[in-house]
Chains A and B, each alone.
Chain A
């Protein structure tokens, strides 16, 4: 587990992979309480500079790219607000003990099940969910279960009819089953890598 410290409801129970900071290392979103890093601003500055350059050398495509980015921003804004609401609700209503029990080091099969169902039901761009996951991790969620959650976002139940238009039912059923199994494999692999990682 990768508890970085508890909040309401007491500290999460330490698990086999517990450490002094999130095992993912360096993350500072959600409940970790850190501010914005300079790197974030450097990347934003570099991206803005790239756009400025493109507006000089290729204004048509630069304008199209900016329009595409604006359209994406409009699409994800409500999802970001929804996720922020989830984060507030989790902070308010879900105790660190509950997170440790259902998503922490001792959660076992229940933790995998919760992460799988959560990943399948989540929608919208993946980066909209990072802050919620970082918050849950700061309160005791295992890194492996974050990986499981993110992997199961590959399963898009509302898009199944379209998927079946291009691929057949057997393929969809086998791929769905394989994806769920692979998500658990990835959860275990990520935790193993983070516990073994030489930069730890």
Chain B
């Protein structure tokens, strides 16, 4: 076999081994997160989330960010709950903060993020994510107001 082909094969085997090792190293923390998500899905229902909002815009924005941040699961769930919250008179500001933070903040995923990408990175990303969820909701509603 040509030396170049051998070299390519060796590089491919080394690359694959490295990738499998990365997955293997992440498995314990991924298993923890999956088990925690199972608990959250079982013990925190959409009805419980809806009952928290009280109709006060400023507080609801903070609540929306916090609840979205600790919630987890498919983004579809956040759309469904967000749509229902709007129907029940919760402000668009709060609903936007909720929908945005659902996917941009990961409290349950934090251990995995901190373990694989670094604790300081995970803290910086989630803290700025929370601030930005509020800012994004304010800007979105302001822009919609201008366009209307």
Report A's interface with B, CB cutoff 8 A.
Answer: 8, 22-31, 34-37, 39-41, 43-44, 47-48, 50-51, 54, 61, 64-70, 72-73, 76, 80, 83-85, 87-89, 91-92, 125-127, 130-131, 133-135, 137, 143, 146-147, 150-151, 153-154, 156, 159, 162-163, 165-167, 170-171, 174-175, 178-179, 182, 185-186, 189-190, 193-194, 197, 199-200
A88, B18: Cα distance in complex, Å: 7
A108, B54: Cα distance in complex, Å: 44
Tell me if A88 and B15 are in contact (CB < 8 A).
yes
Tell me if B79 and A40 are in contact (CB < 8 A).
no
Tell me if B37 and A68 are in contact (CB < 8 A).
yes
The one of B15, B92, B109 that contacts A91, using a Cβ cutoff of 8 Å: B15
Given A40-B115, A162-B79, CB of A131 within 8 Å of CB of B34: no
Instruction: Give chain B interface residues in 1-20, CB to chain A under 8 Å.
Output: 11-12, 14-16, 18-20
Tell me if B121 and A43 are in contact (CB < 8 A).
no
The one of A29, A50, A80, A147 that contacts B115, using a Cβ cutoff of 8 Å: A29
The one of B24, B75, B144 that contacts A174, using a Cβ cutoff of 8 Å: B144
Please count the residue pairs between chain A and chain B whose beta carbons lie under 8 angstroms apart in the complex.
244
Measured CB to CB, the nearest residue on chain A to B100 is A154
Tell me if B144 and A68 are in contact (CB < 8 A).
no
The one of B34, B76, B109 that contacts A69, using a Cβ cutoff of 8 Å: B34
Residues in A whose Cβ lies below 8 Å from that of B75: 154, 156, 159
Measured CB to CB, the nearest residue on chain A to B87 is A166
Scoring B41, B42, B86 by chain A CB atoms within 10 A of each residue's CB, the highest score goes to: B42
Report B's interface with A, CB cutoff 8 A.
Answer: 11-12, 14-16, 18-20, 22-39, 41-43, 75-76, 79-80, 82-83, 86, 92, 96, 99-100, 103-104, 106, 109, 111-122, 124-125, 127-129, 132, 135-136, 139-140, 143-144, 147
Residues in A whose Cβ lies below 8 Å from that of B29: 40, 43-44
Given A43-B111, A68-B41, A134-B22, CB of A197 within 8 Å of CB of B120: yes
The one of A8, A64, A76, A80 that contacts B11, using a Cβ cutoff of 8 Å: A8
Given A127-B112, A151-B104, A174-B144, CB of A133 within 8 Å of CB of B117: yes
Tell me if B136 and A25 are in contact (CB < 8 A).
no
* 4 pairs of A and B residues whose beta carbons are closest in the complex: A24-B121, A24-B118, A69-B38, A166-B83
Residues in B whose Cβ lies below 8 Å from that of A29: 22, 25-26, 115-117
The one of A24, A26, A72, A193 that contacts B34, using a Cβ cutoff of 8 Å: A72
